[in-house]
Structure 1
Amino acid sequence: MTKYGVGQPVRRVEDRRLITGQGRYTDDITFDGQAFVAVVRSPHAHATIEGIDAGAAEKAPGVLGVFTAKDLDADLPCEIDLASRDGTPRADPPHPVLCRDRARYVGDPVAFVVAETAAEAKDAAELVEVAYEALPAVADTALALEPGQPQIHPEAPGNLAFDWHHGDDAAIEAAFAEAAHVTTVELVNNRVVCNAMEPRAAVAEPRGDDGVTLHVCSQGVWGFQPVLAGHLGLPEDEVRVMTHDVGGGFGMKAMYYAEYSMCGFAAKRFNRPVGWTSERGEAFLSDSMGRDHVTTASLALDADHRILGLKVETVAAMGAYYYRFAPFIPTGAALKVLPGVYAIPAMTYDVRGCFTNTVPVDAYRGAGRPESIYCIERLIDAAARDLGLDPAELRRINFVRPEEMPYKSAAGETYDTGEFARVMDACMDKAGYAGIAERRGESLARGRRRGIGMCYYIESTMGDPSEHAGVRFADDGVELLVGTQSNGQGHETAYTQVLNARLGVPFEKIRVVQGDTKRIRTGGGTGGSRSLTAQGVAIHGVSDKVIEKGRAFAAQHFEAAPADIRFEDGAFTVAGTDRTIDILTLAAKARTMTAPAPELEGGLDADATIQLDAWTFPNGCHIAEVEIDPDTGVTEIVAYNIVDDFGVVLNPLLVEGQVHGGVVQGIGQALFEHTVYDDAGQLVSGTLMDYALPRAWDMPNFDFSTIEVPCKNNMMGVKGCGEAGSVGSPAAVINAVLDALWDDGVRRVDMPATPLYLWRLIREAERRAA
């Protein structure tokens, strides 16, 4: 095995460029004569717009123009078709780029200013006078569907976006009627802000052919191209979209936002480049947010503690409008893993989507799967307590067993592989699970409370099951064209490893090209932990084509039969001889050779598009151990153990980095992060002074390892890993917190378990016991 082969911890090749300031992020892209956009946003959560006076702004220094919906009248798309339980389609209110006659959340774009400098644009934006008539607002997901709440969209009576149902009601009623025990929990999955390190940005430049090039930080350019083309009235081939380095996406940068069309519109209007970069406070008001569910879940078990049925009812916030995938996240995406790793014969899942006067909600790392795993894993722990069982034992009783694979779950998904008990046992051993009683006593002697919590998660990778890859040979090496988009995951390293292993091209001779609708035919972008699974298989596919073409050209070069040509370690050889030529030399010669057949034109350059037959189901066990000071409510995570099954691990260094990042985000949601709106719909937690992100000193050392159970659904045997950490960590942490405080009388803990919140729970429990 070479030092770059599968399973090797190759250090990220892109890091030298990024950490030495040689990265090229969207805000780094500037052109001579570039103008800048500033957005006028609604200060009201709900208001009619009675008039807009831009006179003073238009006269301000450097201002080129002020524009409203009268100038740029277009809507942002939602790509998801969804039917309610009665067969009617979801409510479909428009999501305007600029408010037409009503603002529906604080931050809703009302107008934009274009000026010579960013500072002049921002100053002029403050001079735009908008006459508002404030209306009552509803920001609380738990209240949005209640009678008498303010009506947000005429197209969605009662603020109901959809009423979606999955499952067999008769089967679930029978299961609960038969049950020896039923456990019910009520859960809140708190709303979070994505807070990518790099804020959103865009630069549009006009092209001489009347087209536009949009430089934008995204998770995939191809979904943006048709939207911008439609907004500008251009054919798609006259719009080029490019994404360069991206500093974190997390689902939020998969959305197409209003500001991108503002830049494109202004670039065409003034025939000059126009850019916009979000400020951090602006991001809180405009970036799509995540989670925000209110759930009631019930589990029916028989006398032997086997699960008979699962019933889940959720109200999921959409915010004021839909973004690209919003209706799918709490429904189809969440459904995929709602049964977890358990053999559950019957299940119903009901979701009512609601509109609120808040920033729209869409995909956030995990996108539906963290919400579902949080639900089932909190429910399993609650049932174990009700039954007097160790939570690990109840899990073990109900695991889907390896011999039952492939297993079709109650959600209709087919798990191809999984050795859940083996993975859990390994994690329990690492965590010293059997010794918790002794450690609990030691903490108690110091006036602290110690708890341990487990989560066994399963995740379904998602997204477009097709993917494209291209190979282009040049004098100095090879370009690998990919359809995904790195947001910091290490794609350049991982894909280079795959191509190096297949074609033997020296590692340093491979350059990954991404994010360009002109150079790359198509692509599914990055999201849903799909990248290595889909793109890796596509790289294998294009490598096969390169090798096939190479055999034909090598046969011609050597004047041998194609059947006698062997390819190994980056070289073509005539079987049984020492006649050989390396792939780069052959590729250079092939560019001037007559093609052996018409279909072999273009030398060794090749393209391939693949279609996956099925997705993958990464899974694993997280065990968190916490210590809580009952006098302050402060929680310290004293140990955190993870054992994951990601199938074949291509690069353990990259995988561990992905898991660490996901776990930190999950811990952030569990203990720190919370988006707070007041009754008027004003965002109270609108800065990093008010919205608590986890810090390095809040984190323990993570003990991470893998058990490889190769996936049977793809030729590489890999399973996605990018979102797994954020799927498993919230339930593990909150289960540990509740375990720590159980003997103090605390019976319910929701996220985020902040010090003040826990302190109040402890004091309330003391008053009840007095």
Structure 2
Amino acid sequence: MTTKLFGERVERREDRRLLTGIGRFTDDLGHDAAQAAFVRSDFAHARIRDIDVSGALDVEGVLGVYTHDDLQGGFAERLPLLIPHRDLKAPRTQYALARDELCYAGEVIAMVVASDRYIAEDAAQAIRVEYEELPVVVDLEQAVGAGPLTHSDAADNIGAHVSEMKGDVEIALASAPHVFKWRFRPERSASMPMEGRAVFARYDAGQDTLEVYDSTQAPTGIRAGLAELFELDWDRVHVIAPDVGGGFGVKVMQFYPEEVLVPWASRQLGMPVKWTEDRREHFIGSNQERGQIHEVRVGVDAEGRILALDVRFLHDTGAYCPYGLIVPIITAAQLPGPYRLSNYRYSFWSVFTNTVPVSPYRGAGRPQAVFVMERVIEHVARELGLDSLDVRRRNFIQPDEFPYDVGVSWQDGGPTVYDSGDYPSGFQLLLDSIGLDRARQQQAEARAEGRLVGLGVGCYVEGTGIGPYEGATISILPDGTVSAATGLSTQGQGHETIFAQIVADELGVPLERVSVTTGDTRRIGFGVGTFASRSAVVAGHAMLRAARSLRDQTARLASTTLEVAVEDLVFEAGAVHVRGVPEKSVPLARLTLVSNPLRYAYGRDARLAAELAQRAYAKADRPLPEGSRPGLSALEYYSPAAGVFGYGMHAALVEVDRRTCNLRILRYVIVHDCGRIINPLIVDGQVLGGLAQGIGGAFYERIHYSPEGQIQNASFMDFLIPYATEIPPVELHHLETPSPRNELGVKGVGEAGTIPVPAVIANGLSDALGVAIDHVPLSPEEIFQLLHPEPK
């Protein structure tokens, strides 16, 4: 493969469209469609006694009012469980419209469709629901005790209990010179993309087809599910994810109730129907994550080498578990990070609570894992009077130990085996970049002035590039441009750019001659989705395979046309020429016409195309050569045998204002390794954007629930998101340890910037304040309490 573009800092092709306001999001479509609004539960746990919809039916402009009793067939059943697991004893998912019991505040009870959204909202408010309130459980530890039940028909609130062990933890702990116990609590948060969820559906009764525009990360999965529910052939269902204003995991779940109900209403009413989520709906109706409680025992020697680690944790899955056990499994598997653990055991309990359901949010269980492991390192160092940087060095997996088997299962059910990396080199680059001696001198000088300044470090490993597969289709068009498509959708990651780079390199065409479409099942109907930092690895390789297949087709045709051997051909500048004889060439555009005898009569260079076709086939009206087909196109899939593992290290110098107790980040340095880099500009953007989200999760963004299960800060007035002023300048360095598991040598990068930030900030604040910070996110109020503890 040529590498003219691979690794180049190519300008993002999407940006002009998005920054100038000409992008097309789901809410930009269907202005004449009927509008849906939803009645949501006022209570976190209640039984529906009665629903009176008469008031809504009296509102002029209302087209339909629906409750669970109006649903039929599969629409009346529970929504699907996306990823089953053998240990999931209670695979609870919700109904599209609640049937009888409500298990979180915000659960959908009824749908109103009207001529516009204002009327639909007014009618929804006219619906009267009679509730029987039931006991509520919000606190995670209370949920595993003898307290209230999240689901009244359950024996307890435990959805699953999973445990694995590498080595013999009990023997190692018994013989360890030092054994310590600590407790850590990452709390509930949410991703809050700029664009909420949105669905626009058109059912055509005459054609018996369904077209859906959805702000989703997984259009192919939505298509598959809707086809089954509507009992339609898959080719009659098309799902398109247009421009999507952020996803971060919250838009990957299949299905949300609204994604089923809006298309269903379109068929019921025989007209297009649309719904766009408002911000409050997003707070109370879109999935959240992060809440866990960890109890840790660690055995170490006198120099801080970890001899055994035993982790028991509770995972808050909310009221339902649409994504199965993926989040806590990832936490458990990624908790060892870059450290060698000969004896490691985890046990987790997935626990139901009367809160918004949980599914992956950028990082998907890894921020919790890194927070626990990095705080353990800091605690060990403090207890033994050691430098935590030295403790990390002594525990790193070494470069000659790859592939390294962590010893527990990965999210795909296979073993967790790191493919490549150089953690000591990455760590040394981090310390050199931040100028460790100078940073500590600055810290000492600040403390002498009475300022609270601390240094925080965090290291992580990120599993990326999981299967099961993705596909790509590529065609060379009659004008010589190349059209490529893949099934996964894009939410700002730069897919249009990096996929075009791969294709342009392989086919030898200028980058501007390659167009890329994502998230449109009309172009390619099978795929999985954009999540788990997998797009470049999985869809990128599908693009590579399709481009190579297309190159082979084109080379065979050009070989016949130019009367030379295939191996003597060179692809360059949108043409194929004989090696060493560039003037003996044929443009790809003409080869496209040659490959389709019915087309050259309509081409702009019909005479030359006909001549080329006659040279290739002897007679223009004879059949195509055996093994060829009309046109130049290819469809290929890539299914990785295992994931790939990137890694990184972050360091921050932080200061706490004694008066306001606010956080100021003085310096932030990142070292990151995602294997070979396709486009440094896009990698930088992903890491820096992730850092901003990580800062939010470290110090600002917490979902507050009352004991009654009501979110207390369901607006941007109270849910604190960092401004640009809170995001510091960042010094970013890249290493490249190519993955041996794929031809491109790439690893994923989408979640990397977010994963270690809560640990880094907590470590820096602990250093600054001289107290243990063992829960996140923090806030100025909590810092104040740490600085001014109440007398006991």
Relative to the length of structure 1, the TM-score reads 0.95
Looking at structure 2, the residues matched to 560 and 233 of structure 1 have their Cα atoms a distance apart, in angstroms, of 52
* Structure 2 letter corresponding to 1:241: V
1:695 aligns with 2:723: yes
Pick from 708, 717, 740 the counterpart of residue 712 of structure 1.
Answer: 740
Looking at structure 2, the residues matched to 219 and 597 of structure 1 have their Cα atoms a distance apart, in angstroms, of 41
Closer, same or farther in 2 for the Cα pair 1:562/1:429, shift >3 Å?
Answer: closer
Closer, same or farther in 2 for the Cα pair 1:288/1:604, shift >3 Å?
Answer: same
Looking at structure 2, the residues matched to 172 and 108 of structure 1 have their Cα atoms a distance apart, in angstroms, of 43
* Other-structure match for 1:585: 590
Closer, same or farther in 2 for the Cα pair 1:417/1:563, shift >3 Å?
Answer: closer
Looking at structure 2, the residues matched to 423 and 236 of structure 1 have their Cα atoms a distance apart, in angstroms, of 48
CA contact (8 A) 1:431 1:623 kept: yes
Instruction: Supply the RMSD in Å over aligned alpha carbons.
Output: 1.9
1:29-44 equivalence runs, <5 A: 29-30=29-30, 32=32, 34-44=33-43
CA contact (8 A) 2:334 2:366 kept: yes
Looking at structure 1, the residues matched to 567 and 492 of structure 2 have their Cα atoms a distance apart, in angstroms, of 43
1:3-42 equivalence runs, <5 A: 5-30=5-30, 32=32, 34-42=33-41
Helix, strand or coil: the match of 2:658?
A: coil
1:630 aligns with 2:658: yes
1:492 aligns with 2:496: yes
By how many angstroms is 1:231 displaced?
3.4
* Structure 2 letter corresponding to 1:642: I
Helix, strand or coil: the match of 2:632?
A: coil
Closer, same or farther in 2 for the Cα pair 1:131/1:584, shift >3 Å?
Answer: same
* Structure 1 letter corresponding to 2:117: A
Q: Percent identity?
A: 37
1:651 aligns with 2:654: no
Looking at structure 2, the residues matched to 285 and 598 of structure 1 have their Cα atoms a distance apart, in angstroms, of 60
Helix, strand or coil: the match of 1:737?
A: helix
Looking at structure 1, the residues matched to 427 and 153 of structure 2 have their Cα atoms a distance apart, in angstroms, of 48
Pick from 604, 621, 634 the counterpart of residue 606 of structure 1.
Answer: 634
* Other-structure match for 1:391: 388
* Other-structure match for 2:758: 730
* Other-structure match for 1:448: 451
CA contact (8 A) 2:595 2:629 kept: no
CA contact (8 A) 1:221 1:243 kept: yes
* Other-structure match for 1:755: 780
Helix, strand or coil: the match of 2:47?
A: strand
CA contact (8 A) 2:313 2:348 kept: yes
* Other-structure match for 2:398: 401
Helix, strand or coil: the match of 1:50?
A: strand
* Other-structure match for 1:573: 577
By how many angstroms is 1:554 displaced?
0.8
Closer, same or farther in 2 for the Cα pair 1:368/1:138, shift >3 Å?
Answer: same
CA contact (8 A) 2:465 2:535 kept: no
Q: Could you report, residue by residue, the CA deviation over 1:101-145 in whole angstroms, capped at 9, with x for unpaired residues?
A: 111111000001000001100110000011111111011223211
* Other-structure match for 1:553: 557
Helix, strand or coil: the match of 2:69?
A: coil
By how many angstroms is 1:700 displaced?
1.0
1:349 aligns with 2:346: yes
Looking at structure 2, the residues matched to 719 and 221 of structure 1 have their Cα atoms a distance apart, in angstroms, of 23
Looking at structure 1, the residues matched to 631 and 292 of structure 2 have their Cα atoms a distance apart, in angstroms, of 54
* Other-structure match for 2:474: 471
Helix, strand or coil: the match of 1:685?
A: coil
CA contact (8 A) 1:326 1:361 kept: no
Looking at structure 2, the residues matched to 7 and 487 of structure 1 have their Cα atoms a distance apart, in angstroms, of 22
Looking at structure 1, the residues matched to 111 and 680 of structure 2 have their Cα atoms a distance apart, in angstroms, of 46
* Other-structure match for 1:539: 543
Helix, strand or coil: the match of 2:183?
A: strand
Helix, strand or coil: the match of 2:202?
A: strand
CA contact (8 A) 1:93 1:156 kept: no
1:202 aligns with 2:202: no
Helix, strand or coil: the match of 1:165?
A: strand
* Structure 1 letter corresponding to 2:736: E
CA contact (8 A) 2:240 2:521 kept: yes
Closer, same or farther in 2 for the Cα pair 1:546/1:692, shift >3 Å?
Answer: same
CA contact (8 A) 1:81 1:90 kept: no
* Other-structure match for 1:423: 426
1:528 aligns with 2:540: no
* Structure 2 letter corresponding to 1:450: V
By how many angstroms is 1:564 displaced?
4.4
By how many angstroms is 1:100 displaced?
0.6
By how many angstroms is 1:201 displaced?
0.3
By how many angstroms is 1:758 displaced?
0.8
By how many angstroms is 1:436 displaced?
3.5
Looking at structure 2, the residues matched to 143 and 570 of structure 1 have their Cα atoms a distance apart, in angstroms, of 66
Looking at structure 2, the residues matched to 708 and 575 of structure 1 have their Cα atoms a distance apart, in angstroms, of 33
Helix, strand or coil: the match of 1:511?
A: strand
What residue ranges of structure 1 are gaps of 5+ in the alignment?
none
Closer, same or farther in 2 for the Cα pair 1:763/1:682, shift >3 Å?
Answer: same
* Other-structure match for 1:686: 714
Looking at structure 2, the residues matched to 94 and 407 of structure 1 have their Cα atoms a distance apart, in angstroms, of 36
Q: Could you report, residue by residue, the CA deviation over 1:423-448 in whole angstroms, capped at 9, with x for unpaired residues?
A: 11111111122234322232224332
* Structure 2 letter corresponding to 1:356: T
1:657-672 equivalence runs, <5 A: 657-672=685-700
By how many angstroms is 1:558 displaced?
2.0
Helix, strand or coil: the match of 2:63?
A: strand
* Other-structure match for 1:218: 216
* Structure 2 letter corresponding to 1:641: V
* Other-structure match for 1:232: 230
CA contact (8 A) 1:49 1:130 kept: yes
Helix, strand or coil: the match of 2:542?
A: helix
Higher deviation after alignment, 153-162 or 711-720: 153-162
Closer, same or farther in 2 for the Cα pair 1:94/1:197, shift >3 Å?
Answer: closer
CA contact (8 A) 2:190 2:288 kept: yes
CA contact (8 A) 1:206 1:213 kept: yes
* Other-structure match for 1:161: 159
* Other-structure match for 2:240: 242
Looking at structure 2, the residues matched to 59 and 537 of structure 1 have their Cα atoms a distance apart, in angstroms, of 56
CA contact (8 A) 1:313 1:349 kept: yes
What residue ranges of structure 2 are gaps of 5+ in the alignment?
409-414, 598-612, 618-622
CA contact (8 A) 1:3 1:10 kept: no
Closer, same or farther in 2 for the Cα pair 1:413/1:597, shift >3 Å?
Answer: farther
Helix, strand or coil: the match of 1:222?
A: helix
Closer, same or farther in 2 for the Cα pair 1:165/1:233, shift >3 Å?
Answer: same
By how many angstroms is 1:157 displaced?
2.0
* Other-structure match for 1:151: 149
Aligned length: 755
CA contact (8 A) 1:314 1:351 kept: yes
Looking at structure 1, the residues matched to 570 and 96 of structure 2 have their Cα atoms a distance apart, in angstroms, of 57
Helix, strand or coil: the match of 1:253?
A: coil
Helix, strand or coil: the match of 2:168?
A: helix
CA contact (8 A) 2:35 2:275 kept: yes
CA contact (8 A) 1:505 1:583 kept: no
Looking at structure 1, the residues matched to 26 and 34 of structure 2 have their Cα atoms a distance apart, in angstroms, of 15
Looking at structure 2, the residues matched to 503 and 273 of structure 1 have their Cα atoms a distance apart, in angstroms, of 41
Looking at structure 2, the residues matched to 125 and 723 of structure 1 have their Cα atoms a distance apart, in angstroms, of 38
Closer, same or farther in 2 for the Cα pair 1:570/1:184, shift >3 Å?
Answer: farther
Helix, strand or coil: the match of 1:496?
A: helix
* Structure 2 letter corresponding to 1:134: E
Looking at structure 2, the residues matched to 517 and 482 of structure 1 have their Cα atoms a distance apart, in angstroms, of 9
By how many angstroms is 1:237 displaced?
3.2
Closer, same or farther in 2 for the Cα pair 1:663/1:576, shift >3 Å?
Answer: closer
By how many angstroms is 1:2 displaced?
10
By how many angstroms is 1:649 displaced?
1.1
